[in-house]
A and B are shown apart, each in its own frame.
Chain A
Amino acid sequence: MTTAATPPGFVDITLDGQLVRVPAGTSVFDAARMNGVNIPTLCHLQSQTPVGVCRLCVVDTGARVLSASCVRPVEPGMKVVTDSEKVLSARKTLLELMMSDHPSPCARQQNSGDCELETLAKAAGASQPRFAKRTIARGKDDSSLAIAVDHDACILCDRCIRGCDEVKNNFVLGRMGKGYSAGIAFDLNSPMGDSTCISCGECMVSCPTGALTNKSVVGTAIAAGPDAQGFEAEDLLQISVFKGVSGTFLELNRGAIVKRRFRKGDIICREGEFGSTAFYILEGKAKVSISTPIAHVKTQGGAKGLFKRLTSTLVPREEDKREEETRDRTIPIDASVDLSYGNPVAELGPGDLFGEMTCMNFYPRSATVIAESDVVAFEMLRNVLDIMLKNKSFRAQLDQTYRRRALENHLRGVPMFADLSPDFIEHLKESVELQRFAPGQAIAQQGEPADSFYLVRIGFVKISENYPGGEMVLAYLSRGDYFGEIGLLGGGVRTATCTALDHVELVRISGDDFRQMIERFPSVRKGLEAVAAERHAANQQRMQMVQNVPIEQFLSQGLMEAQSLLILDLQNCTRCDACVNACADAHDGITRLVRDGLRFDQYLVATSCRQCRDPLCMVGCPVGSIRRRNSLEVIIEDWCIGCGLCAQNCPYGNINLHPFEVMIEDPARAGRKKAAIKQKATSCDLCTHLKEPSCVYACPHDAAHRVDPKTFFAEMLGQGIAK
């Protein structure tokens, strides 16, 4: 057999007797997958770094021992056998070993029938292990409210650990112990519920077995409640949206979906609350709104002590309107509609799905939904929703609803698209493609050909660039944001890497449509070019910074992340606290600054918002109310619902929540109102309503300065070297 010379960057290997060509650096596992050969695995997930610990993906490469294909890169001329007797027999023994300690059927198998170990073991004929069973149980951990842990079902595949570390950066889970007694542990082996775990659920969705399962499914907690009505799988299959879903699946998930009947005026879900379910309306109408007043937080001066916090009041936005709000903004929420800024109320009806973000990504509820008439709805957990979203007919229906109700808003939300004619919007509404991405999955890679423009529909997208020293995050994009224009306008190559941070759904406008659009509407082109040039210049500047300043020293402190630091020159500072008092005065009695923090040389970096370059606080905001202004400072918009996620996410503890009292509709007595405590988040706004940050202005000793860390540290280092 003769073959053409292998082009550079590619490798030719023999896979089960077939000559195949794959890019250099590909793993044997991926090379097989690309060529239609599926190698079984338990520890490998496409969105995680391979670790090669379950050993199930072993293949024969002609060496003394077999190789785990997920961690083995292809080599020129490699001869790979994936299905010899030797390989299959070794895999079967491995499955039998794991099954001998597996509490079969485990929680996952019982609930959804998709325990990966049991499925693979059954296929390999290893369901009846001949080895002795584990004699000492490793135990269960029921302390978490959201997730059930069964250590006996754990096969130490490390998927939860990588999910926690790599995908979510929560760093809670690790291996503990050694050898046969090794297991997974939270923090210093704390019960999960007492650990620093934030119940994001990533470990649970990463787990291949019943070791980490959604607790509600285990305990069928949602099936409880006065209005809940469980049902038989057969009944469900009669309903159009369940057509095509496996009856066995529905049977096993009976506890994970209920039909609920809400009476007029009932609250279906409340904004700011954490939840894990999505709703699908079958009958009736519901009102979706934001009940937290849209206003700035003010506090009355003078009040002290315990009562001070409760005296916060709100100032109507008319009195304190921000810049950049010339166009009509919409508030993105977790439903198929967006809310308009002026009147944040919309209506949901039969066929509408809401709570998708909460269910898939465990973000707080973004709005309050109240039944306007009697409402019948399905409430479901993530595993059911996940399966339903994979169902073609249901998918098509949802997509249609989205195109009809929200897409236009999203398209109009892109400032440059404002001039598009209604007929072109109509054209786009039909021609765009709706795509889904799993957490960690790359949407576009830096350097790849650019062929489309994207709008974010659900979830968060991380935009990052690779530098010699590592990755730098440029932005986190959420619902209504867009990306991909720089590549399309420029050299046709992606200038940044775009990665799905969580469950992400995107609207894709093809390159053809995009080009047609900018040809027809020169103003769109002009606007896009201006933005692209701006972003390009900013990127260049960043590149320069990374190259010129030895950032290693500061990156570890998070200071170079900052755009603006409040620094106090300790040689001049007399600790008079005038800056703190000035901040409190400028913000009606509540200081947003603490005179304490990291020290560098003679400077103290005070605890106040640093306007980070990688603003982690923005990830997860369910209503997109925390954002960066054009002038770069991070602000919290007035429609904040006070869920507190940004305060949790801020690594420097610089976002505070302020409670205040409002009147809300009393669910117990329809038509009546009652007092309730609501919260709103505040952070340093650099006193943009004043000429200069008041802390800097107030300092009588010229000790307080707002500085750009790049130039500041460069100078300081320069001096240091000169000394």
Chain B
Amino acid sequence: MSGAFLARRGAVIFDDLRAIQLRYGFLPKAELEGLSQRTQTPLYQIHSVASFYPHFHLVPPAKAEIRVCADMSCHLNGACELRADLERRFATSRPDDVQIRDVSCLGRCDHAPAVSINDQIFTGVAAEHAEQLACRAIRGEDFHEPHPKQARIECKADPYGNGATLDERYGVVRKLVQSRAFDDVLSQLKAAELRGMGGAGFPTSLKWDLVRKESDPVKYVVCNADESEPGTIKDRFIMTHLPHLLVEGMIIAGVVTGARRGILYIRHEYHLQEEVLGEEIRRCYRAGLLGKSILGTPLGFDLEVFVSPGGYICGEETALIEAIEGHRAEPRNKPPFPVQAGLWQKPTVLNNVETFINVPQILARGVDWFAAQGAGGSRGLKFVGVSGHVARPGIFEVPMGTSMREVILSRAGGIRGGRQLKAFAPSGPSSGYLPASMIDVCLDFKALAEAGSMLGSGAIVVCDDTTCMLDMALNAVRFYRNESCGKCVPCRVGSQKMTDMLVRWTQGGVPEPQYRADLALLEELSQAMSLTSICGLGQIVPAPIQSVLKHFRAEIDAHVLKGQCTSGICFTPASRAGEAQRVGIRP
């Protein structure tokens, strides 16, 4: 729910819609008409927003809405089979009792497969357990399971140590509001070469400096905690275990750039983290670290949490801003960039969770300490999520510059079940797939870019030798197709046409001249999408299939032309049945 400030700005449409949905279970037409009259909002505006976010139901939902996560890590861990199993179990159920559908990555990649039943998330579930939960939902019984109590994990990144009290924490902010050495902060961040950790890697000091120089008296700091890229789970970990560093990083951004208001944009599947952060923020207000006057100084900073109405596209910075403003999360044309005209057209610092937590680390311990944390010339620490076919999936804090070999084979316990590594994605579908032979590539902006991939958000997804790479490429493209906002032609239409083509390919037996023509057309389509899409989503859609064609060409050729799946998972009757259902588009 939005806080007082957002409510005053009128960005409460989501609160209104959620309130109606909470009461009726969906959004009845009469209620929306009432809302339109009360708020003087045209009907179409309410509908265009409500129909954009899958979180809102425009028709009454089934008593048990079962959503099986379909993306990368869950796909690698039997999500297809789980869904097919559940469909068999509920084959005779009435449609208003049970509805089973795919859902995009729920951010539980380390405990795949994940299932959501009436928006309650369950991880690592077997079909039988999911069936029992759904049956309880149908009977109207409470089926919630309590959050497992998690002890805070000691992180090297925390300059205050795990047992520190509130008085010991926030040391950087305490000093900074007295010294007001804001230029010094920027020069330290510059010397540390801190770059954005959300994927794009834009220099943080430069971004903050641009906002600081804007003359507008109203500015904002926004934290992007909407990680939704399949495989990305590191921000979830950071917000659970280091919430004070995130809040401190945002306060520093506020006082340095002159922004007096911060908004923490969190994905709606992170209930626990929302609670943890809410508690941390309240604690800071009580301690005078947040508010109109920080520790009695004229500097002020207010911070509130905004819960995303949902969707991968909301992680795109301007789409995220549009969502806060209560609109459809459609990315804006740039320029202007958020540093000039962001939230409500005001200069806005927009950074990822991990970027913010790096700031107090650097300022508390110095640039030299930060530089020394990295390996092989890289700087700082990096949180990575490792999921897929590994023995110990999870989030690991590693030095920047660590090799993938170390991360995958050592920290994550190597490949599960004694199988061989076939491929890995350094950062979800967007980074494309690299073959096992490139395992020595390091976690570093430059090294991964040179390998034709990217550091991205550190969402390492690992595939063993039973994986069909064409199937994985199709899985990725389908994810983008599902998550495209539909604003611009190349992404909206292109992602569907690319899906259509790959679906045809996975079925095998494509005549050679057709395949050749398809390859040429795919190249043209990839170019057009990368060059003309408004935002990064549309531009990156071709990456997975292009990387697979580059590194696994012989396998793809055999699959498409001869109908041979080297992994032996395609071309079975069961997979075909599952496939046909997954190709369908939402009406």
- B43 x A179 contact (CB < 8 A): no
A53, A185, A556: the one within 8 Å of B488 (CB): A53
B492 interface residue per 8 A CB criterion:
yes
B333, B495, B497: the one within 8 Å of A68 (CB): B333
**Closest partner residue, chain A, to B40 (CB atom):** A556
B29, B47, B48, B500: the one within 8 Å of A131 (CB): B500
A172 interface residue per 8 A CB criterion:
yes
Report A165-212 residues with CB < 8 Å from chain B CB: 171-182, 185-189, 196
Q: Do A178 and B485 contact each other (CB < 8 Å), given the known contacts A90-B527, A98-B493?
A: yes
Give B96 Cβ to nearest chain A Cβ, in Å: 21
- B528 x A188 contact (CB < 8 A): no
Give B507 Cβ to nearest chain A Cβ, in Å: 13
- A66 x B532 contact (CB < 8 A): yes
A178 to B50, CA, bound (A): 10
List chain A residues, Cβ under 8 A from B485. Answer: 178-179, 182
B52 interface residue per 8 A CB criterion:
yes
A55, A98, A131: the one within 8 Å of B521 (CB): A131
- Over the window 118-141 of chain A, the binary record of Cβ atoms lying under 8 Å from chain B Cβ atoms (1 yes, 0 no) is 000000000000111001100000
- B492 x A182 contact (CB < 8 A): yes
- B51 x A176 contact (CB < 8 A): yes
- A175 x B48 contact (CB < 8 A): yes
List chain B residues, Cβ under 8 A from A172. Answer: 42-44
- A89 x B486 contact (CB < 8 A): no
Q: Do A180 and B44 contact each other (CB < 8 Å), given the known contacts A100-B497, A188-B33, A189-B51?
A: no
Give B158 Cβ to nearest chain A Cβ, in Å: 37
List chain B residues, Cβ under 8 A from A132. Answer: 497, 500-501, 504
A16 interface residue per 8 A CB criterion:
no
A86, A93, A136, A182: the one within 8 Å of B525 (CB): A93
**Closest partner residue, chain B, to A94 (CB atom):** B489
A172 to B29, CA, bound (A): 16
- B333 x A131 contact (CB < 8 A): no
B52, B335, B528, B587: the one within 8 Å of A90 (CB): B528
A71 interface residue per 8 A CB criterion:
yes
A172 to B43, CA, bound (A): 7
Give B341 Cβ to nearest chain A Cβ, in Å: 12
Give B332 Cβ to nearest chain A Cβ, in Å: 9
- A175 x B328 contact (CB < 8 A): yes
- A136 x B539 contact (CB < 8 A): no
- A176 x B48 contact (CB < 8 A): yes
**Closest partner residue, chain A, to B525 (CB atom):** A93
A143 to B489, CA, bound (A): 28
Give A163 Cβ to nearest chain B Cβ, in Å: 13
**Closest partner residue, chain B, to A99 (CB atom):** B493
Give B53 Cβ to nearest chain A Cβ, in Å: 8
Indicate the size class of the contact surface on chain A: 35 or more
- B333 x A52 contact (CB < 8 A): yes
A51 to B488, CA, bound (A): 10
Report B310-333 residues with CB < 8 Å from chain A CB: 311, 328, 333
B99 interface residue per 8 A CB criterion:
no
- A188 x B489 contact (CB < 8 A): no
A623 interface residue per 8 A CB criterion:
no
B335, B493, B525, B531: the one within 8 Å of A180 (CB): B493
Give A118 Cβ to nearest chain B Cβ, in Å: 15
A455 interface residue per 8 A CB criterion:
no
B496 interface residue per 8 A CB criterion:
yes
A155 interface residue per 8 A CB criterion:
yes
A668 interface residue per 8 A CB criterion:
no
A189 to B40, CA, bound (A): 18
- A94 x B517 contact (CB < 8 A): no
Give A677 Cβ to nearest chain B Cβ, in Å: 32
B139 interface residue per 8 A CB criterion:
no
- A101 x B486 contact (CB < 8 A): no
A196 to B527, CA, bound (A): 42
- Over the window 494-518 of chain B, the binary record of Cβ atoms lying under 8 Å from chain A Cβ atoms (1 yes, 0 no) is 1111001100100000000000010
- B48 x A174 contact (CB < 8 A): yes
Q: Do A97 and B486 contact each other (CB < 8 Å), given the known contacts A90-B532, A188-B29?
A: no
B73 interface residue per 8 A CB criterion:
no
A172 to B46, CA, bound (A): 11
Q: Do A94 and B532 contact each other (CB < 8 Å), given the known contacts A178-B51, A185-B47, A185-B48?
A: yes
A97 to B490, CA, bound (A): 8
A182 to B500, CA, bound (A): 18
Give B51 Cβ to nearest chain A Cβ, in Å: 5
- B52 x A178 contact (CB < 8 A): yes
Q: Do A136 and B585 contact each other (CB < 8 Å), given the known contacts A93-B528, A94-B489, A188-B32?
A: yes
A58 interface residue per 8 A CB criterion:
yes
B581 interface residue per 8 A CB criterion:
no
A178 to B48, CA, bound (A): 9
A500 interface residue per 8 A CB criterion:
no
A53, A71, A86, A196: the one within 8 Å of B43 (CB): A196
- A180 x B532 contact (CB < 8 A): no
**Closest partner residue, chain A, to B482 (CB atom):** A179
- A180 x B527 contact (CB < 8 A): no
A375 interface residue per 8 A CB criterion:
no
Report B547-587 residues with CB < 8 Å from chain A CB: 585-587
Report B28-57 residues with CB < 8 Å from chain A CB: 29, 32-33, 40, 42-48, 51-54
B114 interface residue per 8 A CB criterion:
no
List chain A residues, Cβ under 8 A from B484. Answer: 178-180
List chain B residues, Cβ under 8 A from A100. Answer: 493, 497
**Closest partner residue, chain A, to B526 (CB atom):** A93
Give B583 Cβ to nearest chain A Cβ, in Å: 9
A51, A72, A130, A180: the one within 8 Å of B486 (CB): A180
A156 interface residue per 8 A CB criterion:
yes
B530 interface residue per 8 A CB criterion:
yes
B346 interface residue per 8 A CB criterion:
no
A65 interface residue per 8 A CB criterion:
yes
List chain A residues, Cβ under 8 A from B539. Answer: 65
- A97 x B43 contact (CB < 8 A): no
B524 interface residue per 8 A CB criterion:
yes
A146 interface residue per 8 A CB criterion:
no
- A156 x B492 contact (CB < 8 A): yes
B193 interface residue per 8 A CB criterion:
no
A54 interface residue per 8 A CB criterion:
yes
A90 to B497, CA, bound (A): 15
B483 interface residue per 8 A CB criterion:
yes
**Closest partner residue, chain A, to B486 (CB atom):** A182
- A97 x B48 contact (CB < 8 A): no
A269 to B489, CA, bound (A): 45
- B489 x A98 contact (CB < 8 A): yes
List chain A residues, Cβ under 8 A from B335. Answer: 72-73
Report A70-119 residues with CB < 8 Å from chain B CB: 71-73, 86, 89-90, 93-94, 97-98, 100-101
B487 interface residue per 8 A CB criterion:
yes
List chain B residues, Cβ under 8 A from A66. Answer: 531-532
Give A199 Cβ to nearest chain B Cβ, in Å: 16
A171 to B311, CA, bound (A): 26
Give B546 Cβ to nearest chain A Cβ, in Å: 15
**Closest partner residue, chain B, to A172 (CB atom):** B44
- B531 x A65 contact (CB < 8 A): yes
B481 interface residue per 8 A CB criterion:
yes
B350 interface residue per 8 A CB criterion:
no
B533 interface residue per 8 A CB criterion:
yes
A332 to B32, CA, bound (A): 43
**Closest partner residue, chain A, to B497 (CB atom):** A131
Pick 29 A–B contacts, CB within 8 A, sort by A. Answer: A52-B488, A53-B489, A55-B534, A66-B532, A68-B333, A90-B528, A93-B490, A93-B528, A97-B497, A98-B493, A100-B493, A101-B493, A131-B497, A132-B501, A156-B486, A178-B52, A178-B311, A178-B328, A178-B486, A179-B482, A180-B484, A180-B496, A182-B485, A185-B47, A185-B48, A187-B44, A187-B47, A188-B32, A196-B43
Q: Name the 10 nearest CB pairs between A and B, nearest first.
A: A174-B44, A182-B486, A93-B528, A171-B42, A174-B48, A132-B500, A187-B43, A179-B484, A71-B333, A97-B493
Given contacts A156-B486, A178-B486, A182-B485, 9 further A-B contacts (CB under 8 A): A68-B333, A89-B528, A94-B528, A174-B44, A174-B45, A180-B585, A181-B486, A186-B44, A556-B40
